[in-house]
Structure 1
Amino acid sequence: MSLAIFDLDNTLIANDSDYLWGQFLVDHGIVDQAYYETANKKFYADYKHGTLDIVEFLRFSLAPLALHDPAQLYRWRDEFVDTIIKPILLPEAQALVERHRAQGDTLLVITATNRFVTEPIVKLYGIDNLLATTPEFSKGRYTGKYIDVPCFQEGKVVHLRNWLDSSTETLQDSWFYSDSHNDLPLLKLVDHPVAVDPDEILLQAAQSANWPVISLRN
């Protein structure tokens, strides 16, 4: 039995849930439309180029959570998952998850997208273990801040090591599936790194290191 780790956005699903959640807020008039859409696109471009300021982005992306009652936020999130996320679930990704499950492997998703957005998505794949940036929740409200280090780039390694310290799992014979060069620190840590529909930088790195390159898209 091994530890099978999966990135979420553009790996298990066919788009980026962080960007799509921002666009959902824009489309429903929940945020200032012109400002938020422009900023959301810029942050996503920065992410793809490997230049994202994660602290600045989290300040931007978590701010709307502090402006609304959690019950309303959860209703919007349910609608988001039903209308935006479910259509971009990938059957081949589900099949890959199920192959690891059938082998008795421990399943873990580790994602830069915050836990508020990703927790219900990960549950759609039947995966119980999730490492993600965690929005701060205090006195019955989201604060717009986050706790611990952001789960991004080297931060994913920090989160994984902390999780391993509190579990019986190890990295022996471990797997990690990701599409993004932002995940190179973690890909280099596991025994079986796999590039999934990779961006150009990750594709070059995978080919240079002779890592498997696969597609989960139809």
Structure 2
Amino acid sequence: MKSLAIYDLDDTLLCGDSEFHWAKFTVSKGFIKKEVYLKKIKAFEIDYRSGNLDFDEYCSFLLNPLIGMDVDDLDELVSEFIETHKEKLIDPMTFDLLERHINEFRLVASGSLDFIVKGFTNYFKLDAYLGSSYEVKDNKITGKLKKAAFAHGKLEKVREWCQKNSYIVEESFFYTDSINDLPLIKVCPRSIIISPDKKLEQYALKNNIEILTR
């Protein structure tokens, strides 16, 4: 069986935050007022970097403009988003990281909403993805978060996926930039840290974890 390589998405596989750019995209489409967006997104960014993000509130903010949208229409919107924002989110390291494991099974595991994670997974032609799932009724988005893939929630989702697909988390490669991924880092001895913040950098240095700088 192939080895498993797990990639975080934002600021790891991508050189920016996909949901930040998604929010800007929804502003450009008229889904969110610019003033509301600027105030909220900056506050969420500060909380995320400090490890104090209210993840449910954050996801509700991103999902609210999509309430009532048909999921098939959302797929088309995500394709448009990636085409118009890929130059801001993809850099040479993106392809370097993917090339490292071109002959292995490549899984994207991200706290981002799974329609975004799915979009980039398909764009890069990777094998599978895990993201934060949202509620759909009668093929319409309700605006409610279903199951988060954030912090310990990401570890749980990865473990469940590995059990179903006969992989072992502890034998996998894992790439991330975020201190919020510490639960998964701790169980993956093959973790590689990408341009970390100070907290994660200190942890990586103390535990002899490889650091790559973008």
After TM superposition, is the score higher than 0.5? Answer: yes
My pick for the range that moved more, 90-99 or 176-185, is: 90-99
Structure 2: give runs of 5+ residues left out of the alignment. Answer: none
My pick for the range that moved more, 28-37 or 160-169, is: 28-37
4+ long deviations beyond 6 Å? none
- Please give the residue correspondences for 1:96-175 in structure 2 after superposition, counting only pairs within 5 Å: 96-102=97-103, 105-148=104-147, 150-175=148-173
C-alpha change, 1:41 and 1:3, in structure 2 (3 Å) is same
Query: Is residue 26–residue 37 contact of structure 1 (8 Å, CA) maintained in 2?
Result: no
Question: Secondary structure of the equivalent of 2:115?
Answer: helix
| Aligned-pair identity (%) | 33
C-alpha change, 1:166 and 1:196, in structure 2 (3 Å) is same
2:21 corresponds in structure 1 to 20
Query: Is residue 18–residue 89 contact of structure 2 (8 Å, CA) maintained in 1?
Result: no
Q: Which amino acid aligns with 2:96?
A: A
Aligned mates of 1:45, 1:23 — CA distance in 2 = 17
Aligned residues: 213
Q: Which amino acid aligns with 1:181?
A: I
1:58 corresponds in structure 2 to 59
User: Considering only aligned residues, what root-mean-square deviation do their CA atoms show, in Å?
Assistant: 1.7
2:192 corresponds in structure 1 to 194
Given the two structures, how large is their TM-score scaled by the length of structure 2? 0.92
Aligned mates of 1:117, 1:99 — CA distance in 2 = 23
Aligned mates of 1:35, 1:96 — CA distance in 2 = 35
Deviations 1:121-175 (A, max 9, x none): 1222221210111121110211111223x10011111101111221111135311
Query: Is residue 17–residue 89 contact of structure 2 (8 Å, CA) maintained in 1?
Result: no
Query: Is residue 151–residue 159 contact of structure 1 (8 Å, CA) maintained in 2?
Result: yes
